[in-house]
Amino acid sequence: MSAAPTPTESGVLRPSSGKALLIDGKRGSEEVLTEIAEKVRGLAGQGLKPGLAVILVGADPASQVYVGAKGKAAKAVGFHSVQHDLPATASEAEIIALIRQLNADPAIHGILLQLPLPGGADATRIIESIAPEKDVDGLHPINSGLLAIGNLSRALVPCTPAGSMILLEKAAAALGVKLEGAEAVVVGRSNLVGKPIAQLLLGRNATVTIAHSRTRDLPAVVGRADVLIAAVGRPEMIRGDWIKPGAIVIDVGINRISVPSHDPAAPAKTRLVGDVAFAECLDRAAAITPVPGGVGPMTIAMLMSNTLKAAIQIAGLKAAH
């Protein structure tokens, strides 16, 4: 029987022997949130209370959970927090009208439209209607542009990529490896994760490849990666024998799959898995994020971080973020 992993100072769990370090996103998120709460207490003295508005269109159960978690975290760190629930039938014009009100509201510093929209509707024009300085999801073209030119002090960076980078830096520090010059492979090219994380890795001087559904011989491309970011949205698609021995694996996928039951009368059970076949990777990777408990919690923490940054920038305060 293997011994339980031992926690290290950095929130990376060191297993007993021969297994990948587990990068603890829950602990990482708690650290970020504790720091934010402290800064919010400091800002109160300067008359500033960061405000976050989250818009949920429709009633997708997973989105309801995520939006609830965002509101809870916002209140816990001391933000003003509001949630706007719109029916699935809300038109683009109605959503944009609400965003215009929030753009003009001085108590609101961050606006987030929960994705996906019902029926997979295109969110492009809606996102573009968010004032860039309040775009705490980092999806407005102004923020994408600031990220692309490497202006990280001004850019609001998408939350999942920002949180993934914190976990990656922790793993690299725990292993004593450098990101500079490392071969980084990002599987997935979404605006929400793949493209921004590739920019962040470039900013750390990694050599970055973005792979996607049309990539030829994906296992061979993945096999080059010192750093693998899996953001493809397909349960356990990346197999253990694709992984380069010693790689750092950041699994961004959060996929709910059904668990077969031997009892036909029992209610159907589900569990969460990542885009990487976790158990198969444990003996090959040097470090890996689990699902759940990896990148997911960091997404919420980085939304709070972006809202604090937006509030400070909008108020024109010098306070270092």
Q: Which residues are annotated as a binding site?
A: 188-190, 254
**Catalytic-labelled residue, pool 24, 39, 134, 137:** 137
CA dihedral 164, 165, 171, 174 (to 10 degrees): -140
121's tokens: 């509707």
Numbered residues of the known binding site for NADP(+):
188-190, 254
Nearer to ligand LMY7XDAE, 50 or 297 (CB): 297
| Shortest distance, position 30 Cβ to ligand LMY7XDAE, whole Å | 12
Nearest to 26 by CA among 231, 178, 170: 170
Q: Which residue is nearest to ligand LMY7XDAE (CB)?
A: 296
Q: How far apart are CA 157 and CA 140, in angstroms?
A: 10
Dihedral sign, CA of 134, 136, 141, 146?
positive
Nearer to ligand LMY7XDAE, 299 or 307 (CB): 299
Active site residue 137: yes
| Shortest distance, position 160 Cβ to ligand LMY7XDAE, whole Å | 5
Nearest to 140 by CA among 163, 124, 121: 124
Nearer to ligand LMY7XDAE, 222 or 303 (CB): 303
**Catalytic-labelled residue, pool 19, 39, 70, 170:** 70
Active site residue 70: yes
**Catalytic-labelled residue, pool 114, 135, 170, 275:** 114
| Shortest distance, position 265 Cβ to ligand LMY7XDAE, whole Å | 25
Contact 174, 20 (CB under 8 A): no
Binding region for ligand LMY7XDAE (CB under 6 A): 65-66, 112-115, 137, 159-160, 192, 254, 272, 291-293, 296-297, 299-300
Contact 13, 5 (CB under 8 A): yes
| Shortest distance, position 124 Cβ to ligand LMY7XDAE, whole Å | 13
Nearer to ligand LMY7XDAE, 48 or 54 (CB): 54
| Shortest distance, position 26 Cβ to ligand LMY7XDAE, whole Å | 7
Contact 110, 52 (CB under 8 A): yes
Catalytic residue positions, numbered: 70, 114, 137
